[in-house]
Amino acid sequence: MSTNYFPYCVDCQSGHPIASDRLDDECRALVRASPALAAFADAWADLSTYGYPVMTLGRDRDYIHPEWFKAHAGHHLVVRNEYGDNDDECGKRYQCHGCKHPHELRCRRHSGHDGDHAEGRDDGRP
């Protein structure tokens, strides 16, 4: 069973509109390249004024949208999977015992945190 990954803006709670399965390493490369992709969005828009067709970069059903990276320039970008797990979070599963019916939760604190696992983030982000 495969898992889908995509670049995700934690600040805006917005995911990049990639259409098919991506590998987490591939998405990390997109996040690392985000400043260049954001700058490319301006150049691409400028070229379009001279009659060059405006389209997204991609192959098959997978497209990179430079304008998404421009809209989220300077924001906290991570790789997220289809289950809502961000790659900058601990991710450890633990049992909730505070409810009437104990259930499993996933720690959303930052990777390598000190102390107990917790459902809420510990960095002030949503």
- Dist. CA 124–CA 55, nearest whole Å: 36
Model pLDDT for residues 46-90, shown as the tens digit of each residue: 777 776 665 556 655 567 888 899 999 999 999 998 888 888 888
Q: What pLDDT score does 58 carry?
A: 61
For 3-53, how does the pLDDT look when each residue is reduced to its tens digit (9 = 90+)? Answer: 888 899 999 999 987 755 667 788 889 999 999 999 988 888 777 777 666
Per-residue pLDDT at 120 = 67
Q: Are 83 and 1 in contact (CB under 8 A)?
A: no
Spatial distance between the Cα atoms of 116 and 119, rounded to a whole number of angstroms: 10
Task: Show the 3-state SS of 50-117.
Answer: CCCCCCCEEECCEEECHHHHHHCCCCCEEEEECCCCECCECCCEEEECCCCCCEEEECCCECCCCCCC
For the chain, the domains span 5-81, 89-126
